[in-house]
């Protein structure tokens, strides 16, 4: 079966077509600047065929039509007919407390995704547009929703509640939800397969470190805590997000810098973190290069990230009563040996010791701890798309 994976943003639509007989990529593409001047589709196939289409694209329905046209193009396309696509799997940001797993999309499911727009104001409307566009142009093809929040729904209340009056949880849904759930689920499962161990009985910490970063604590294959909160702002410092702060910072800046709460939050989401501290870049490669050549603010930004990750590892190890496996993933986690080494420095007290030679690796499944390390530390490249494709296949097969 061929599965189409769709990740719709407000002005973009990313897609991948995957052959599930051997889980291989057939084509991947991006439609960008939807309803903005300069709309563009770019599609690539593993054998090097590149499609570029520049034409006005007024909405997600047109973007989806163009995607299907590019996939079926007689010269550079990869399928002859839309009928070859067995199902579509959609990445959806927020499933609130309603969705603990992926599901086939129905009118009720769409109503729930709509209900959670206040919790995911940027993403959920875009995800819905992607779903409705695919329904419009592929009306008979089953559609599946895979939620970023679902994996974290196993957290106990003591981990997901905030210390504000209970009525805000009951009435408004104020609680920790967590994000990157599909990545945490993939990596926590994959690391056990890679090591040949049973997830049951294992205490695992996943460090997903990319533009957005989150850590999770996983016991017996189930999430028991995660660093992102009601929104993806909480946790360690990120590319442009501040990570956790005393909430009074918001009021203090608002009162003293002539901004309202929404402007402060926007600043904390888009202009803070590595970018805000370094005043240089949100990209870890730029931060590394600048820090290594003596830029003090870049070095501070890096130190803050390393220190924040260390604190989460320490607190999750304490919360779980130990840790057996630590797995690094996503852009920085997979490709930053120096950062991994800095994070794991002086962690022998926890039973974790890195082998610098083994750690000198990028983007490859590897054990990077020493043979005598009690905690096995690994690099596991994430693969959210394959998780979405597998969920979609399984749900459609069991329909
Ligand atoms: P997203 O959260 O957007 O999916 P990624 O997982 O792709 O992000 O991670 C992007 C981050 O990974 C950037 O900060 C980038 O600098 C970093 N990164 C990518 N490659 C490397 C590398 N070779 N060394 C260090 N950092 C890297």
In 3D space, the residue among 21, 347, 19, 46 whose CA is nearest the CA of residue 29 turns out to be 46
pLDDT given at position 219: 98
Which is the closest atom of ligand 1 to the Cα of 339? Answer: 25
What kind and span of H or E run contains 371? none
- % helix / strand / coil in the chain, to the nearest 5? 40, 20, 40
**123/260 Cα distance (integer angstroms):** 23
pLDDT given at position 41: 97
Choosing from 286, 332, 381 the residue with most ligand 1 atoms within 8 A of its CB, the one to mutate for a pocket test is 332
**The pTM is what?**
0.95
Q: Which residue has the tokens 């007989």?
A: 21
* Overall residue count recorded for the chain in this entry: 399
DSSP 336: -
How far away, in angstroms, is 279 Cα from ligand 1 center?
A: 18
pLDDT given at position 293: 97
Binding site membership of 211 for ligand 1 (Cβ less than 6 Å): yes
What residue spans of 28-75 are helical by DSSP H? 60-71
pLDDT given at position 398: 79
Structure tokens at 370: 């020493």
Half-sphere exposure of 24 (CA within 13 A, CB side): 7
Q: Which residues pair with 4 in a beta bridge?
A: 17, 88
**124/95 Cα distance (integer angstroms):** 9
DSSP 354: B
pLDDT given at position 122: 85
Taking the chain (399 residues) in runs of 10, the rounded mean pLDDT of each run is: 95 96 96 94 96 96 96 96 96 96 97 93 92 95 97 98 98 97 98 98 98 97 98 96 97 97 96 97 96 98 98 98 98 97 97 98 97 98 96 91
Question: Using alpha carbons only, how large is the chain's radius of gyration in Å?
Answer: 22
List the strands of the sheet with 13-19, edge to edge. Answer: 50-54, 40-44, 24-32, 13-19, 2-8, 85-92, 143-147, 103-104
Binding site membership of 305 for ligand 1 (Cβ less than 6 Å): no
pLDDT given at position 264: 97
Residue partners of 3: CB distance under 8 A and separation at least 6: 17, 18, 20, 85, 86, 87, 88, 89, 389, 392, 393
Half-sphere exposure of 139 (CA within 13 A, CB side): 1
Helix (H, G, I), strand (E, B) or coil at 369: strand
How far away, in angstroms, is 332 Cα from ligand 1 center?
A: 5
**100/108 Cα distance (integer angstroms):** 15
Binding site membership of 178 for ligand 1 (Cβ less than 6 Å): no
Phi, psi of 86 (to 5 degrees): -75, -30
pLDDT given at position 35: 93
**262/260 Cα distance (integer angstroms):** 6
**48/354 Cα distance (integer angstroms):** 38
DSSP strand E in the chain: where?
2-8, 13-19, 24-32, 40-44, 50-54, 85-92, 103-104, 143-147, 203-209, 213-219, 222-226, 325-329, 366-367, 376-379
pLDDT given at position 150: 97
Binding site membership of 89 for ligand 1 (Cβ less than 6 Å): no
List the strands of the sheet with 366-367, edge to edge. Answer: 222-226, 213-219, 203-209, 325-329, 376-379, 366-367
pLDDT given at position 399: 75
Per residue in 56-78, is it b (16+ CB within 10 Å) or e — as a string?
ebeebbbbbebbbebbeeeeebb
Which is the closest atom of ligand 1 to the Cα of 208? Answer: 6
């Amino acid at each position: 079966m061929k599965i189409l994976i769709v990740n719709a943003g407000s002005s973009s639509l990313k897609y991948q077509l995957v052959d599930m007989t051997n889980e291989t990529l057939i084509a991947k593409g991006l439609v960008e600047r939807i309803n903005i001047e300069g709309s563009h589709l770019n599609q690539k196939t593993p054998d090097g065929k590149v499609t570029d289409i520049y034409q006005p694209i007024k909405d997600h329905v047109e973007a989806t039509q163009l995607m299907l046209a590019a996939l079926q193009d007689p010269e550079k396309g990869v399928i002859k007919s839309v009928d070859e696509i067995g199902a579509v799997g959609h990445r959806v940001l927020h499933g609130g407390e309603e969705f603990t797993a992926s599901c086939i999309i129905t009118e009720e499911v769409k109503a729930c995704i709509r209900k959670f727009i206040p919790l995911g104001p940027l993403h959920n409307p875009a995800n819905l547009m992607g779903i409705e566009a695919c329904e419009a142009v592929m009306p008979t093809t089953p559609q599946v929703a895979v939620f970023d929040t679902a994996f974290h729904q196993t957290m106990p209340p003591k981990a997901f509640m905030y210390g504000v009056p209970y009525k805000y949880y009951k009435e408004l849904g104020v609680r920790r939800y967590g994000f990157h759930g599909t990545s945490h689920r993939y990596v926590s499962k994959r690391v056990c397969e890679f090591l040949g161990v049973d997830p049951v009985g294992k205490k695992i910490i996943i460090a997903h470190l990319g533009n957005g970063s989150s850590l999770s604590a996983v016991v017996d294959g189930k999430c028991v805590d995660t660093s992102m909160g009601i929104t993806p702002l909480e946790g360690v410092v990120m590319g442009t997000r501040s990570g956790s702060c005393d909430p009074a910072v918001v009021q203090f800046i608002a009162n003293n810098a002539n901004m309202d709460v929404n402007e402060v939050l926007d600043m904390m989401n888009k202009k803070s973190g590595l970018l805000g501290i370094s005043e240089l870049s949100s990209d870890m490669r730029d931060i590394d290069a600048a820090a290594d050549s003596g830029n003090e603010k870049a070095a501070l930004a890096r130190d803050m990230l390393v220190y924040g990750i260390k604190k989460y590892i320490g607190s999750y190890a304490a919360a779980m009563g130990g840790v057996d496996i630590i797995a690094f993933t996503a852009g920085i986690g997979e490709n930053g040996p120096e950062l991994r080494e800095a994070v794991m420095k002086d962690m022998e007290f926890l039973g974790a010791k890195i082998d610098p030679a083994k750690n000198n690796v990028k983007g490859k499944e590897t054990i990077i701890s020493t043979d005598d390390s009690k905690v096995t530390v690994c690099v596991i490249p994430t693969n959210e798309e394959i998780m979405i494709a597998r969920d979609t296949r399984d749900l459609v097969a069991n329909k």
